[in-house]
Amino acid sequence: MRELIIHNMPELPFAAAEALNQLRINLGFCGDQIRTIMMTSSVPNEGKSFLTIQLWRQMAQVGSSPVLLIDCDFRNSEMRRKYSIRSASGEKLMGAAHHLAGKANIQNVIYKTNIPNGYMIPVASTIANPTILLENPRFAQMVAYCAGQFGTVLIDTPPLCSVADGLNIARSCDGTVLVVRSGSTSRRLVQHSAQLLRRTETPLLGMVLNRADTGSRASAYYQRYYGSNDYGYGRSHSHNTSSNGGT
């Protein structure tokens, strides 16, 4: 199996790691039938991708079953941009889009990573309009295949209120976790996102209150890590970033 190296995976302080641990345990209470989980947010810059990759790492390290992370933010993958994900052999990456377009077998886009027990389907290149790929029956088939091969499948998606990709993805998932940025995302936007998810008939497993100002060392860590960034769906700067929350 091909292998990926994730170079920029920082260690979390205790408070942040423990909050993620609580989230992992809470998701376990949802039942064994919840295997494929979509991770999303309402708008950009809520910390969704950061939380997703850190949750994936913790699930992989703690659990006995392999865990797969599928990056489905085809338009603007933060994981591809921020975490310096590279092939261990130096070869060109192949991602979900290659499989959905019929250019690669599913086995050729699932990579082992340098995170023990952690596997990933990356975004290999930016796609301006992935709607056709996501509405292709091959997408649901891909998710179903992965659910049969891995204990848990986490799927990172674009924000729900930015583009329609997340709604197409949700239909193939067992449940959704909605990340909400504390003190920034309005109740109206959160309610709108919940309404959109209800239309897909995909259970909302819970919400994560992210970047809550706890006044702890974890808060200072998130301030240093995020800084001010343009996340691509619209310029959005972060000046007081701290975390965390749970379902």
pLDDT digits (tens, 9 = 90+) for 30-84: 999 999 999 999 999 999 999 999 999 999 999 889 999 999 999 989 898 898 8
Would you place residue 211 in the very low, low, confident or very high pLDDT band (cuts 50, 70, 90)? confident
Please report whether residue 238 resides in a domain: no
Average confidence (pLDDT) over 120-142 = 94
> Is 208 a member of any domain?
yes
Q: 19 lies in a domain?
A: no
Mean model confidence pLDDT for the chain: 86
Round to whole Å and give the CA distance between 134 and 130.
6
Span of 104-118, 196-210, 226-240 with lowest mean pLDDT: 226-240
Burial of 153 (0-12, 13-18, 19+ CB in 10 A): buried
For the chain, give the secondary structure using H, E and C: CCEEEECCCCCCCHHHHHHHHHHHHHHHCCCCCCCEEEEEECCCCCCHHHHHHHHHHHHHHHCCCCEEEEECCCCCCHHHHHCCEEECCCCCCCCHHHHHCCCCCHHHCCEEECCCCEEEECCCCCCCCCHHHHHCHHHHHHHHHHHHHCCEEEEECCCCCCCCHHHHHHCCCCEEEEEEECCCCCHHHHHHHHHHHHHCCCCEEEEEEECCCCCCHHHHHHHHHHCCCCCCCCCCCCCCCCCCCCC
Question: 5 or 10: whose pLDDT is higher?
Answer: 5
CATH number of the domain within which 157 lies? 3.40.50.300
- Domain membership flag for residue 216: yes
217: containing domain: 3-7+31-226
Better pLDDT: 246 or 223? 223
- pLDDT of 105 strictly over 80: yes
The closest alpha carbon to 42, from 156, 154, 193, belongs to 193
Q: Judge whether 148 lies within some domain.
A: yes
The structural domain count of the chain equals: 1
Q: Does residue 133 belong to any structural domain of this protein? A: yes
Q: Is residue 234 part of a domain?
A: no
- Please check whether residue 116 lies inside any domain of the structure: yes
Give the β-pairing of 204-210 and 118-121: unpaired
Residue 238 has pLDDT above 50, yes or no: no
What pLDDT digit, counting tens, does each position of 134-166 carry?
999 999 999 999 999 999 999 999 999 989 999
**What confidence score (pLDDT) does residue 245 get?**
38
Weakest mean pLDDT among 145-154, 169-178, 183-192, 211-220? 211-220
Mean pLDDT of 198-226: 71
**pLDDT at residue 92 tops 50:** yes
Per-residue confidence (pLDDT) for residue 227, from 0 to 100: 41
Q: pLDDT class for 223, splitting at 50, 70, 90?
A: very low
